[in-house]
Amino acid sequence: MQTIELEQRYTSGCYSKRDVAIVRAQGARIWDEDGKAYIDCVAGHGVAIVGHCNPAVVAAITEQAQRCITCPEIFYNDVRARFMEKLVAVAPEGLQRVMLVNSGTEAVEGALKLARLSTGRSGLVAAQRGFHGRTMGALSTTWEAQYREPFAPLIPDVTHVPYGKLEAMAQAIGDSTAAVILEVVQGEGGVNIGDGDYLRAVRTLCHERGALLIVDEVQTGFGRTGRMFACEHHGLLPDLMAVAKGIAGGVPMGAVLLGERVQHITPGVHGTTFGGNPLACAAGIAAIDYMLEHDLPGESRRKGAWLLERLRTLDSRLVRDVRGLGLMIGIELRTRVTPYLKALMQQGVMALPAGRTVIRLLPPLVISDEELEMVAGAVERVLTAEAVHA
Ligand SMILES: *Cc1c(COP(=O)(O)O)cnc(C)c1O
């Protein structure tokens, strides 16, 4: 318990923490200080796509740490060049250039800035229940009031429209709209699965009216939904795509991918000290190679379909809906999820909320079938037990 007391003394207070200290992680498992193991369907908020401490990632960063850890983008770098090539090779068609950053919110921030730069317009349209990060620009496009309101005034010219309603979107995109930003599956907002016709129609509207389409694949990217990127389910071609989370096997990294409609980029217009550092790039090369060699998008599709079907047979009055795409799964309850997340932890399974009433499962895509069965069993026990209290 020493760790908890020590950290509690110094922590900012920004987080509501669970009463456990994690000290080790491997594959789809994490261990606490007392040696208790958990199956990890939090996975660092969906980061550990290739598994915790993936051996290929560990080897790559160990080797790179001895050659060169930091190198800003005012110089060229061998590892960065190879990483960019690899990222563009797996990205949706038409995304040809890369701005490397260090987190999801920075990727969104970069996409918003480049959209304003490129169009010379300032307006941004985002979706209700969307989540795009916590820095001031990205936060302005995030929907949830409790994240935004304490920090007002945020950046102006942001409109939020209902997700999936084309008419409202058509009304919101005007002459001064720089970009529309959307998730393909809303993660934080409740695992809301976007409709392909809607998403493609938004793209058409953007193009007709001179705006850019930013797709936020920070959570859905790198195989999470059963395709390398969720856009691929719908043949959706973004002008800008923000990625992060699983991109570098757990090492902090993000990227903005740019299509040909993004223009007017001149040296000095945007930048970051750590962006494109060789350590993260080496991890990113190893992570993407691993995803391709082990067909993690395919694994995600197969395992996700199995888990979804298994959870849909759950006979529980608590469950309102079970939905998901690949290994991005939401179990919507008729009540608040917090006590059930606690009960799951006692059963040895870590899970996330998505809003107040949805349990979200984001396991590493390398999770074994046996571990997946253990997750399903724990969820079943917890949601069919009489005695779960707050
Ligand atoms: C997590 C997330 C972000 C923010 O990423 P950070 O790395 O926490 O800044 C942005 N968009 C989506 C869709 C996310 O899931």
Give the domain ranges of the chain: 2-53+295-384, 55-293
Taking only the tens place, the pLDDT of each residue in 87-115 is 999 999 999 999 999 999 999 999 999 99
Section 214-226 average pLDDT = 98
Taking only the tens place, the pLDDT of each residue in 7-21 is 999 999 999 999 999
Q: Whose CA is nearest to atom 15 of ligand 1?
A: 219
Instruction: Examine the pLDDT at 372 and tell me if it is beyond 80.
Output: yes
Angle subtended at Cα 99 by Cα 96 and Cα 102, rounded to the nearest 5 degrees: 140
The rounded Å distance from CA 133 to ligand 1 centre is 5
Q: Whose CA is nearest to atom 6 of ligand 1?
A: 104
Query: Which of 17-31, 112-126, 319-333, 376-390 is predicted with the least confidence, judged by mean pLDDT?
Result: 376-390
pLDDT band at 388 (very low <50, low <70, confident <90, very high): low
CB 218 less than 6 A from any atom of ligand 1: yes
Mean pLDDT of all residues in the chain? Answer: 97
Model-level pTM greater than 0.85?
Answer: yes
SS3 state at 381: helix
H/E/C letters for each residue in 136-188? HHHHHHCCCHHHHHHHCCCCCCEEEECCCCHHHHHHHCCCCEEEEEECCEECC
Section 16-35 average pLDDT = 97
Taking only the tens place, the pLDDT of each residue in 277-324 is 999 999 999 999 999 999 999 999 999 999 999 999 999 999 999 999
CB 220 less than 6 A from any atom of ligand 1: no
Of the candidates 161, 196, 166, 211, which has an alpha carbon nearest to the alpha carbon of residue 325? 196
Distance CA 273, CA 243 (A): 18
pLDDT band at 271 (very low <50, low <70, confident <90, very high): very high
SS3 state at 281: helix
CB 255 less than 6 A from any atom of ligand 1: no
Please say whether the beta carbons of 370 and 303 come within 8 A: no
Q: What is the pLDDT of residue 20?
A: 97
Q: Which amino acid is at 172?
A: A
Taking only the tens place, the pLDDT of each residue in 129-140 is 999 999 999 999
CB 184 less than 6 A from any atom of ligand 1: no
Q: Whose CA is nearest to atom 5 of ligand 1?
A: 104
pLDDT band at 387 (very low <50, low <70, confident <90, very high): low
The rounded Å distance from CA 217 to ligand 1 centre is 9
Section 253-264 average pLDDT = 98
pLDDT band at 154 (very low <50, low <70, confident <90, very high): very high
CB 57 less than 6 A from any atom of ligand 1: no
CB 192 less than 6 A from any atom of ligand 1: no
Q: What is the pLDDT of residue 385?
A: 84
Q: Which amino acid is at 279?
A: L
Please say whether the beta carbons of 238 and 194 come within 8 A: no
Kind and range of the H or E run holding 329 = strand 328-333
The rounded Å distance from CA 382 to ligand 1 centre is 29
**Buried b or exposed e, range 128-149, using 16+ CB within 10 angstroms:** bbbbbbbeebbbbbbbeeeebe
The rounded Å distance from CA 229 to ligand 1 centre is 15
CB 219 less than 6 A from any atom of ligand 1: yes
Same fold? 2-53+295-384, 55-293: no
Kind and range of the H or E run holding 298 = helix 296-312
CB 130 less than 6 A from any atom of ligand 1: no
Q: Whose CA is nearest to atom 11 of ligand 1?
A: 132
Please say whether the beta carbons of 141 and 158 come within 8 A: yes
Substitution candidate for ligand 1 out of 135, 136, 186, 218 with most atoms within 8 A of CB: 218
CATH of domain 55-293: 3.40.640.10
CATH of domain 2-53+295-384: 3.90.1150.10
Section 210-239 average pLDDT = 98
Q: Which atom of ligand 1 is nearest to the CA of 135?
A: 9
Q: What is the pLDDT of residue 113?
A: 98
